[in-house]
Each structure stands twice: as structure tokens, then as C-alpha cells.
Amino acid sequence: MNGPEIESKKLPGALVCLPLAVAVLLVMLPTLELGTRLFSGWYWWGVILGVAMMILSIFCHRAGKRHAAWYLLSLFLNGCGDGFSLSALYIHKHLVASAQTNLPGVIPAACALLLSCVLLLLLSKRKRLAAILAALCALSSLIYSFGSNAPFWVFACFASLLGAVFLIPMVRLTGHPERGALRQSSFAGFGAFVLITIVVVFLLSEGEVLDGLDLGDFSSGGRKTKRPRVHR
């Protein structure tokens, strides 16, 4: 009889995944700023170090089978990898990487995750409907971030992508034991890193695409409107 009683006291998976996702976002902030300081000479070092952090996190994830705390270290390393990979784009486009400036960029993704968590808990018996509404929350966060004129909008967009990936274990693990949530959150950390790095590499590799995106220079604010050149 003790088994079911102990099981019922454990938190739902969504309540475990939510703070872990926000924690990864907060880890990204200082590593993003650190990456822009360390690799200003050659921005690809940020991507290389990010991949190295992800590979290291694989060993931590495998060790999580013996002790669940290793999953937390795996998440931390992937969060660092996210920040270092993203720093390559910030260096290339001369974006403001200050953790203080980009901190508000966490808010849209965190709000979407929080609302999704509430929906999953309230609609646990209608998980498909809750999953659709959660996906709409993630999409709204991305659309709002992309349309924003704030200096942190680029970080907010990538934070929304990370939040969308973490919705997957939140949907799957509502009501599950904590250890399962830690393991699935660690998997989400890998997925978020791969997605963020693919987007960064694509933007760095495709010059025409990068020029078409008005990322601007945020040294003094949000997007700047390019003035037409005057031919003399």
C-alpha cells in the first residue's frame, strides 16, 4: 500500500518540466554574453564549444540512469551550449548580448510555458485539446517575440523555440513521476540545442537570408530602419 501513496505525492511531470525549462533559459543568458566576449575573433568557436558541451551532456544523461541528478547536469550543459551557439549569431550581427538586456526576453516563453502547464493540469482528461492549446501558446509567444521592436527580441525568439521543445515532455508527462520528467526534460534539452544550433548555422551560412532579415544593430535600441543610400 505504501507504493501508491508515495506515487501520489510526486509532482506531475508538467510541474517539473516548467521550472527546468525556465532554468535553461536563464543559463543561456550569461553563457551568451560570455561567448560574445570570448569568441569575438572567430564566431564559429561559439558553435564548436556549444557542440562540445552537448556531447559532454550525453555522458551525463547516460549516468542519469544511476542517479537522476545527472539529468540536471545534462540540462545545465545543454543550456550552456545553447548560449554559446547563439553567441555566434550575436557576434556576426553585432547584437547586444548583455544578460541584463536580454533577461526580459525570457518572459514571453516563460508565460507561454506557465499557461501551457495550467492548461495541461486543468484539462488532464482531455490531453489532446490541452496539447493543441499549449501549441497555440508557444506559437503566440514566437509571433509576439518576432514582431517586437524591443532590443531583446532576437533572444526572445530563440527562447520561444526552446520553450516549444519543452512543451513535448510537458504534454507527455503530466501526472508522471519526477524521475521520468527529469529524463524527458533532459531529452528536450538535446532537442532544443539541436534546433537552436541548426537555426544559427543556417543564418550564418546563408548570407542572402541573413541580409533579408532585419536583425539590425541593437547597440542603442530595437530594430533600426535602414535608410536608402543617396547616390551622388
Asked if 83 and 28 touch (Cβ cutoff 8 Å), the reply is: yes
Place of cell 519526477: 178
Residues 6+ apart with CB under 8 A from 185: 16, 17, 20, 21, 71, 75, 166, 169
For residues 72-86, average pLDDT: 95
According to the model, what pLDDT value does residue 2 have? Answer: 42
According to the model, what pLDDT value does residue 178 have? Answer: 57
Q: Residue 181: which of 79, 72, 62 has the closest Cα?
A: 72
Residue 76, C-alpha cell as written in the block: 545545465
Residue 224 predicted with pLDDT over 70:
no
User: For 139-194, how does the pLDDT look when each residue is reduced to its tens digit (9 = 90+)?
Assistant: 888 888 887 777 888 999 999 999 999 988 888 877 555 558 888 999 999 999 99
Every domain of the chain and the residues it spans? 31-210
According to the model, what pLDDT value does residue 88 have? Answer: 93
Asked if 166 and 113 touch (Cβ cutoff 8 Å), the reply is: yes
pTM of the model: 0.80
Average pLDDT score over the chain: 82
According to the model, what pLDDT value does residue 219 have? Answer: 43
According to the model, what pLDDT value does residue 175 have? Answer: 58
pLDDT tier at 207 (50, 70, 90 boundaries)? low
Q: Cα Rg for the chain, rounded, in angstroms?
A: 19
For residues 35-61, average pLDDT: 92
According to the model, what pLDDT value does residue 14 have? Answer: 80
According to the model, what pLDDT value does residue 217 have? Answer: 47
